[in-house]
């Protein structure tokens, strides 16, 4: 747990209680207070350069995968969930964590390290003090996580509503260590968020912005900066039809994370019939994924992917490719699948293909 607060603010408030003609005492009270802070356990302070630039009150919670301690050689992507609790009519951190767990359980999706960043006086932090928050994230939090946890280069920042505006304008345009930024239903409430093109960093993360059916305050001014810099390949803006500002949070989080980690899974099943994946391509995919995510595919996972390709290519009439994948599949239902596909194709009026399936794939029945 990391707690950050302004020492100078504390000192000046105590000192302000003293009579003005006792200015010497203001300096004298600093020494014992500093000594006291040095011995308090679990507390870190961030010194401000000037008293007029107070620091932030932040607590962080790191959630590692269930088998993190057992799989000592494995590294993990990091998802930074920046506090949006006051702006969300629900349990922000709990619902986001559940969504990530469901993605891992229901999709081909990697296990991740979750860093919950809880911020006091959040509206002030992401508006008036947004530079402070940015500096703290880059100079303190990211180095701390990298030093103390087994992390991969895949680093994702998430923010919703006003915090969504902050992650887009600050992390999306300036941070270079992040690979992706998800700005969910962002509110750009302050005209200071309109960044000039010459202020954008040369190396940027991929920024994905999601909206529900809602008013998009300052969105056009913000996005126009990207167009002027010809950085459209680094920006994706999507709308979730039928969702409100509030209800869009979890759907856009899921959609965004699936897009971020799309290289963890092969081509979608609906696109398989139009693709041309050989068994060698499948092996190359799993090899590349192991390099990217430090995770080895199980025999069952490989078999399932070969089965999916085999079924798609059988439906499409690409029987040579289908045979190649059927031979790699260890499914005990291969014969059933092939007979079922042949029957469905025949019912659809393609008797010729049905005969070819039954003939060319006869040995697999």
Look at 19-28, 33-42, 94-103, 306-315 and tell me which has the smallest mean pLDDT: 33-42
| pLDDT (mean) for 154-174 | 89
- pLDDT tens track for 196-233: 656 666 678 899 999 988 777 656 666 666 666 666 67
Q: Which residue has the higher pLDDT, 127 or 42?
A: 127
3 vs 152 pLDDT, higher one: 152
Strand-by-strand arrangement of the 235-239 sheet:
58-63, 113-119, 76-82, 151-160, 180-184, 206-211, 235-239
CA distance 162 to 127: 8
Residue 330 CB contacts under 8 Å (≥ 6 apart), including other chains:
299, 300, 303
Could you give the CA distance from residue 114 to residue 126 in angstroms, rounded to a whole number? 20
Please give the pLDDT value at position 257: 97
DSSP 41: T
- Residue pair 164/187 in contact (Cβ under 8 Å)? The answer is yes
Distance CA 83, CA 158 (A): 9
pLDDT of 12 over the 50 cut: no
Please answer whether residues 206 and 177 qualify as being in contact, where contact means their C-beta atoms are separated by less than 8 angstroms. no
- pTM given for the model: 0.77
Q: What is the structure's pLDDT at 172?
A: 82
pLDDT of residue 174 exceeding 80, the answer is: no
């Amino acid at each position: 747990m990391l707690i950050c607060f302004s020492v100078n603010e504390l000192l000046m408030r105590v000192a302000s209680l003293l009579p003005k003609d006792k200015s010497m005492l203001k300096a004298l009270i600093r020494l014992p207070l500093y000594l006291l802070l040095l011995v308090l356990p679990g507390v870190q302070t961030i010194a401000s350069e000037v008293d007029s630039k107070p620091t932030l009150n932040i607590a962080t919670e790191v959630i590692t995968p269930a088998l993190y301690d057992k799989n000592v050689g494995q590294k993990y992507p990091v998802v930074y969930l920046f506090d949006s609790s006051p702006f969300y009519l629900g349990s922000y951190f709990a619902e986001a964590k559940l969504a990530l767990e469901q993605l891992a359980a229901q999709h081909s999706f990697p296990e991740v390290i979750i860093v919950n960043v809880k911020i006091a006086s959040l509206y002030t932090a992401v508006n008036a003090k947004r530079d402070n928050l940015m500096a703290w994230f880059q100079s303190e939090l990211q180095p701390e996580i990298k030093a103390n946890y087994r992390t991969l280069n895949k680093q994702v920042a998430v923010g919703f509503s006003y915090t969504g505006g902050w992650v887009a304008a600050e992390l999306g345009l300036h941070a270079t260590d992040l690979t992706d930024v998800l700005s969910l239903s962002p509110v750009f409430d302050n005209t200071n968020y309109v960044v000039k093109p010459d202020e954008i960093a040369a190396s940027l993360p991929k920024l994905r912005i999601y909206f529900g059916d809602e008013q998009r305050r300052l969105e056009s001014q913000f996005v126009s900066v990207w167009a002027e810099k010809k950085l459209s390949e680094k920006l994706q803006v999507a709308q979730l039809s039928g969702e409100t500002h509030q209800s869009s949070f979890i759907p856009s989080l899921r959609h965004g994370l699936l897009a971020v980690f799309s290289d963890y899974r092969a081509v979608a099943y609906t696109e398989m019939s139009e693709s041309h994946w050989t068994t060698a391509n499948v092996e190359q995919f799993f090899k590349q994924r192991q390099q990217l995510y430090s995770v080895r595919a199980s025999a069952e996972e490989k078999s399932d992917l070969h089965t999916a390709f085999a079924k798609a290519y059988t439906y499409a009439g690409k029987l040579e490719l289908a045979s190649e994948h059927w031979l790699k599949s260890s499914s005990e239902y291969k014969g059933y699948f092939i007979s079922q596909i042949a029957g469905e194709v025949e019912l659809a009026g393609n008797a010729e293909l049905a005969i070819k399936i039954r003939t060319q794939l006869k040995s697999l029945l």
